[in-house]
Amino acid sequence: MSFRFSKAAVVLILVLILLTFGCSSRDKGKEPGRISNTAQGNAQLEKLFPDKKGYKWVYSGFAEYGHEMTLEEIDRKDDGVLFLVKGTVDDPSGGEAQKNFSLELEYLIKDGVLSQRKKEEAMLDSISN
């Protein structure tokens, strides 16, 4: 009887080992939600942007806040695309404020990732402050 118990225990342990290693080895190195094909990911992200220079965004927000931005440059390279956006934040003080109201945003699409870099002093409503 102990021989049967040992045989069953060994089989159970082997099954557990196979399940553990089998489940842990699939999709190693992949992040959830990341597109595996970089070129396809870049193309999908690029659809979020206008395809021509000169495109203008006008934002009129809460409590007299607003800004205008223009797509100044689209720089396509082998490994990605850079979008350069420049503009100004509205000055509700009529010139009395001593802030720099210019803004500059760079959006880089590379390796299936969209990143933003911004230079500004007065821009509101941004998740990357």
Q: What is the pTM of this model?
A: 0.65
With CA atoms as reference, report the closest residue to 119 among 91, 95, 100, 96. Answer: 100
Q: What tens digit of pLDDT does each residue of 40-71 get?
A: 889 999 999 999 999 999 988 877 888 899 99
pLDDT at 74: 97
* Confidence band for 36, pLDDT divided at 50, 70 and 90: low
Residues 96-124 have pLDDT tens digits of 888 888 999 999 999 999 999 988 877 76
Residue 127 confidence class, pLDDT cut points 50, 70, 90:
low
State the pLDDT at residue 79: 84
pLDDT band at 10; cut points 50, 70, 90: confident
Task: Work out the percent of the chain whose per-residue pLDDT is above 70.
Answer: 78
What are the residue boundaries of the structural domains of the chain, listed by start?
35-120
* pLDDT at position 48: 93
* pLDDT, position 93: 80
Q: Beta-carbon neighbour count of residue 56 at 10 Å?
A: 11
Q: HSE-up of 129 (CA within 13 Å, CB side)?
A: 7
